[in-house]
Amino acid sequence: MIVPAEVVAYDPRWPLWFAELRAGLARPLFGVPHRIEHVGSTAVPGLAAKPIIDLDIVVPSAELVPLAVERLVAAGYRHSGDLGIAGREAFELPADAERYHHLYVVVDGNDAFLDHVMLRDHLRRDAADRERYAARKLELAHLLTTDRAAYVAGKAALVQEMLARAGGSPAGGGPGRTAGAERSDG
């Protein structure tokens, strides 16, 4: 599957794609206490993004993370570890995935999860920051085909600033969605 390498205008189909992906995870996660949150830029109406749906599978305790990982691996996902962000387990897609997406398992209330939700909610509320973020992503979009790490790094300071205003992780510890990772939201 080809990774989308462009930033596009908001697409009202993104919440529908999230719902489809969430429904597809019901069977492998049956019996595992969880909820699934739509995070990342595609979860923010009006925000330009890469057409990649980010999903956080939120479990109530760290003890449930191995079970969730086991079930997702059995369903064809490949566990990729935390990709440099403590508290967030990432997955590569099954070979038969119909839609490209990012999938994470997080514990309810940990920094990685709170940063995802706080940034999403801040951008939903703050039109000026939503526009600033969209402009930065569009400015950096040319890097998506040559240097995704530079694309993520180019957004990092703005993301940290917005997270600080939203009450997320302090810049010293790095926000849960950008520090040390090449995969990030749209």
Whether residue 134 has pLDDT greater than 90: yes
Q: How confident is the model at residue 81 (pLDDT cuts 50, 70, 90)?
A: very high
The CA–CA distances, whole Å, from 88 to 15, 21, 167, 176 equal 22, 19, 19, 8
**How big is the chain by its Cα radius of gyration, in Å?**
15
Report the pLDDT averaged over residues 42-61. Answer: 98
Answer yes or no: are the C-beta atoms of 59 and 105 closer than 8 Å: yes
Q: CA-CA distance, 119 to 41, in Å (whole number)?
A: 9
CATH-assigned architecture of domain 14-166 = 2-Layer Sandwich (3.30)
Let me know if 136 is exposed, middle or buried by CB neighbors in 10 A (0-12, 13-18, 19+): middle
What predicted TM-score, i.e. pTM, was given to this entire model?
Answer: 0.89
Let me know if 74 is exposed, middle or buried by CB neighbors in 10 A (0-12, 13-18, 19+): exposed
| Element (DSSP H or E) covering residue 35 | strand 35-39
Instruction: Return mean pLDDT, the chain.
Output: 91
**pLDDT for the residue numbered 176:** 42
Residue with the larger pLDDT of the pair 1 and 11: 11
User: If phi over 0 gives left and psi between -120 and 50 gives alpha, with beta otherwise, what is residue 84?
Assistant: left
User: If phi over 0 gives left and psi between -120 and 50 gives alpha, with beta otherwise, what is residue 44?
Assistant: beta
Answer yes or no: are the C-beta atoms of 87 and 176 closer than 8 Å: yes
**DSSP characters over 136-168:** HHHHHGGGGGT-HHHHHHHHHHHHHHHHHHHT-
The residue ranges of every structural domain in the chain are 14-166
Whether residue 135 has pLDDT greater than 60: yes
Q: How confident is the model at residue 175 (pLDDT cuts 50, 70, 90)?
A: very low
Q: How confident is the model at residue 179 (pLDDT cuts 50, 70, 90)?
A: very low
Residue with the larger pLDDT of the pair 177 and 111: 111
Whether residue 174 has pLDDT greater than 70: no
| pLDDT tens string 82-111 | 999 999 999 999 999 999 999 999 999 999
Q: How confident is the model at residue 169 (pLDDT cuts 50, 70, 90)?
A: low
